[in-house]
A and B are shown apart, each in its own frame.
Chain A
Amino acid sequence: MRKYKKKLAINYFMNEVIRTDIMSILSETRQRISHDEISYLKELSDHTIHNASIFQDKDSINAAVIVYSLYKILQREGLARNNVMRKIIEMENALAANDLAGYNKRIQEMLKMISKADIKLKLYIEQVVEQAQIKKGSKLYDHGLSISQAANLMGISVWELMDYVGKTEINEDHTYGVVVDKRLENARRAFSKKK
């Protein structure tokens, strides 16, 4: 928990587009939980990734990580849903009132709630959160940011991100650039030349 707190930077300014989008994501998260549509939270966590790619703000990144962590934890009934919903409403209210300090405080409280779940679930919360960071980092890369930039934004290492990206289909759809024959030719030419 200490580690994650350190990673979550607190912002006291929020772009209006981001604020509106996060409020809408939180509201939808709450509705999906109340309708027992937990699997939808995974997709929902990606919605904030568009803003995270463009604005690269901590708030969009934190929202994506929290919604994804909730998806993982709630799948296993590791948290009382009423408490989660209450906390989300508090986050929404803080944002609606433009109370960013209050919003950040609620984020930390939500993370504390998630961290308590690891005792019940015998899950390592840092693993859940790190998994969320890696997943969302891969989305940033998929959206067009470089791997190092995506890793930096998520507070993870390039090692972790590359390891994950390689097991996805993200690298499948690159069809641009130089053809492989030419790259091989360039490589062979460089190695065949003398000093």
Chain B
Amino acid sequence: MKIVKISKKNIVFDTGPIINFASSGILPKLTALRAHYSGDFLITNSVEKELIDRPLATKKFRLEAFQVLKEIRQGTLKNFDDESIDRMARELLDIANSTFKAKGHWIRIVSFAEMSVLASAIELGSELVVIDERTTRLLVEDIDSVASRLEHKLHTKVIIDDQKKKLFSQMTNGIKVIRSIELAVLAFDYGLFDEYLISGKELEKAGISHHKFKDPKNSILESILWAMKLNGCSVNNQEIARIIKLYKKKS
């Protein structure tokens, strides 16, 4: 077991948000954002495996995996796990995967890596967890909607074990979930994307019509949000429109 000194103030990352930063080509922004946070960005062993081991064994996404590995080596992302986290992750996994039953069978809905993120947040009292995928996030925030989705999509009756549901909600109570998109907005707030700002004159010089870029700053924000969405963050069109509206109000 690795001994890593970590700050009491920390944010735990699932695999998805880091993939999203890398796939969107803005992984260095995560490093820059880390400098604005007075704590640690943490990942668990199983998240690291999903981020690194698997893509390194294939050709696709190998380069991105090397880029993430650099962030881990440089300490932007600290790998942290211990026995109590491991134990709690297994407990959460057992509960989550025996809460919803269809056709007489418990549906194994989540993986160990995802539960290790929640277990870390519980054990370490983390300020936030960053999760891009929908199911784990909804298990924490609105467990009933997970059952409704399963029932609706599987076209079959889904039976819920109410005791397990309650237990899972109690254990994860207080966990605050954000997504890569909210982190990207923070990075935008800190001016980390200002290097992409381009003036009307420069656009003209480059032969680009600047009608679409009346508000260059908002155009950049919109492009970031769409990049995150298209790279797998579970955010819908209305939420993107809402964020842009909030910024238009601000400016």
Contacts and interface: CB of A to CB of B under 8 A. Distances in A.
A158 B65 CA distance: 12
Interface string A76-97: 0000000000000000000000
Contacts of A53: 107, 150, 153-154
Contacts of B189: 188
Contacts of B110: 145-146, 148-149
Contacts of B107: 53-54, 56, 144-145
A146 B109 contact: yes
A158 B183 CA distance: 20
A141 interface: yes
Contact of A146 (B9, B102, B135): B135
Contact of B154 (A144, A159, A166): A144
Contact of B229 (A146, A171, A186): A171
A191 B36 contact: yes
Nearest to A53: B154
A177 B141 contact: yes
Given A144-B109, A177-B142, A159 B61 contact: yes
Contacts of A174: 134, 138, 234, 236
A189 to B, nearest CB: 8
A193 B111 CA distance: 32
Contact of B61 (A142, A160, A178, A180): A160
Nearest to A148: B111
Interface string B25-54: 000000000001111000000000010001
Contacts of A160: 60-61
B124 interface: no
B78 interface: no
Given A148-B133, A158-B16, A159-B19, A172 B141 contact: no
A149 B106 CA distance: 14
Contact of B230 (A158, A167, A195): A167
A162 interface: yes
Given A157-B58, A159-B64, A55 B105 contact: yes
Interface of A is mostly: helix
Contact of B235 (A50, A54, A148, A171): A171
Contacts of A147: 16, 132-133, 135, 232
Nearest to B8: A195
B173 to A, nearest CB: 14
Nearest to B155: A50
Nearest to A142: B153
Nearest to A18: B103
A188 B50 contact: no
B162 interface: no
Contact of B50 (A145, A157, A172, A194): A157
Contact of A148 (B11, B36, B114, B237): B114
Interface in B106-141: 107-111, 113-114, 127-128, 132-138, 141
B242 interface: yes
Contact of A166 (B136, B138, B183, B232): B232
Given A178-B177, A195-B7, 7 more contacts: A144-B153, A146-B136, A162-B16, A166-B229, A176-B142, A184-B243, A186-B178
23 contacts: A50-B155, A143-B153, A147-B232, A148-B114, A158-B15, A162-B232, A163-B23, A166-B230, A167-B230, A171-B234, A171-B235, A172-B237, A174-B134, A174-B234, A176-B141, A178-B141, A180-B235, A181-B242, A184-B185, A191-B36, A193-B9, A193-B127, A195-B38
Interface of A: 17, 50, 53-56, 141-149, 152, 157-163, 165-167, 171-178, 180-181, 183-184, 186-188, 190-191, 193-195
